[in-house]
Amino acid sequence: MKTLVLRRLAVLLPTLLLVSMMVFGLQKLLPGDPALALAGEERNPEVVEYLRQKYRFNDPIPVQYGVWLKSVIQGDFGTSVRTRLPIGRMLAEKLPVTIELAILSMLVALLVGLPIGIFAALWRGTFLDYGASLFGLAGLSIPHFWLGIMLILLFSVNLGWLPAGGFVSPSESVGRNLLAMLMPALVLGTGTAAVMMRHVRSAMIQAMKQDYVRTARAKGVREGTIVLRHALPNALIPVVTLGTLQFGELLAGAVLTEQVFSIPGFGKMVVDGVFSRDYAVVQAVVLCTAAVFLLMSLIADVAYALLNPRLRS
């Protein structure tokens, strides 16, 4: 176990380094001169040239990367070239928003995905099972931004119950914060719930076929006890893994949902960063999400190994 963790941690850093190199290189290849984008409507040539010098846009890409890497190692993510605000602070402000959204979505996914998956497995072949399959398919297939648009249409435009978007800081009002997060969390949660449901269902079906269930049944143990005591704990093992992985994906996967609901989180920050060529911002966000993603998959593997006795040897 220890060696597994250590080995995985050892590749974590090189992978992150690779990620940062790739994203950096890709950004530098993008057309569009960031100095021109920064120089205002009049784009005075003197100013443009000064900005190129100041942000080293003229240096060879490896040199620029080196400069960036050095300052990141020293704990400085740099400054947004657009707003001149320190990126470290921007990250600190956005991270809670994104994490809140991820947690709420995960909550939705668990509340919806788990029970449906379990009951679909137990009542296999019934209408509930078919309904669940349909839900699973739909959840996988509905574009998040379309679902978001439709929810806005229903709950904001037609019924007027929920705000159409925007973010309210919980320090301002917890109630309105949750109201504003409700629809985005539903949208993101539905997709995750579908994945969750499908996995829980098949894991549960597998578990119910195992020997220990058969033995318990032969001993005359009540069906409810069998499900709760024997089948469910085993069926939940992949769910833990999946949940961890999905959480990692939620952090970065909310790009369009944040766009539709105007939520100032990571996803929107990185997309706007790409479009405005604020490369240091993109670097920082991608690095953070990649790190979280890799850590989460490490945790998922560890959890799997811990929970699954067959793998422990």
Region of residue 125 (left: phi > 0; alpha: psi -120 to 50; beta: else): left
Q: What is the DSSP string of the chain?
A: -HHHHHHHHHHHHHHHHHHHHHHHHHHHHSSS-HHHHHSTTT--HHHHHHHHHHTTTTS-HHHHHHHHHHHHHTT---B-TTT--BHHHHHHHHHHHHHHHHHHHHHHHHHHHHHHHHHHHHTTTSHHHHHHHHHHHHHHHS-HHHHHHHHIIIIIIIS--S-SS----TTT-HHHHHHHHHHHHHHHHHHHHHHHHHHHHHHHHHHHHSHHHHHHHHTT--HHHIIIIIIHHHHHHHHHHHHHHHHHHHHHHTHHHHHHHT--SHHHHHHHHHHHT-HHHHHHHHHHHHHHHHHHHHHHHHHHHHH-HHHH-
For another protein, the binding residues in 221-250 under the rule CB under 8 A are 242, 245-246, 249
| Among the residue ranges 27-35, 63-71, 106-114, 223-231, the one whose residues contact another protein (CB under 8 A) | 27-35
| Among the residue ranges 119-127, 141-149, 209-217, 219-227, the one whose residues contact another protein (CB under 8 A) | 141-149
For another protein, the binding residues in 182-201 under the rule CB under 8 A are 195
Among positions 23, 114, 197, 200, the unique one binding another protein when judged by CB under 8 A = 23
Tell me: does residue 24 bind another protein (CB under 8 A): no
For another protein, the binding residues in 160-179 under the rule CB under 8 A are 161-169, 172-173, 175-176, 179
Task: Please identify which residue in the block is written with the tokens 């569009």.
Answer: 32
Nearer to another protein, 122 or 255 (CB): 255
| Among the residue ranges 117-125, 207-215, 218-226, 275-283, the one whose residues contact another protein (CB under 8 A) | 275-283
Tell me: does residue 4 bind another protein (CB under 8 A): no
Among positions 1, 4, 11, 311, the unique one binding another protein when judged by CB under 8 A = 11
Tell me: does residue 117 bind another protein (CB under 8 A): no
For another protein, the binding residues in 82-101 under the rule CB under 8 A are 82-86, 89-90, 93-94
Among positions 183, 216, 231, 270, the unique one binding another protein when judged by CB under 8 A = 270
Tell me: does residue 60 bind another protein (CB under 8 A): no
* Least distance in angstroms from the C-beta of 219 to another protein: 29
Among positions 106, 190, 207, 268, the unique one binding another protein when judged by CB under 8 A = 268
Tell me: does residue 34 bind another protein (CB under 8 A): yes
| Among the residue ranges 107-115, 154-162, 209-217, 302-310, the one whose residues contact another protein (CB under 8 A) | 154-162
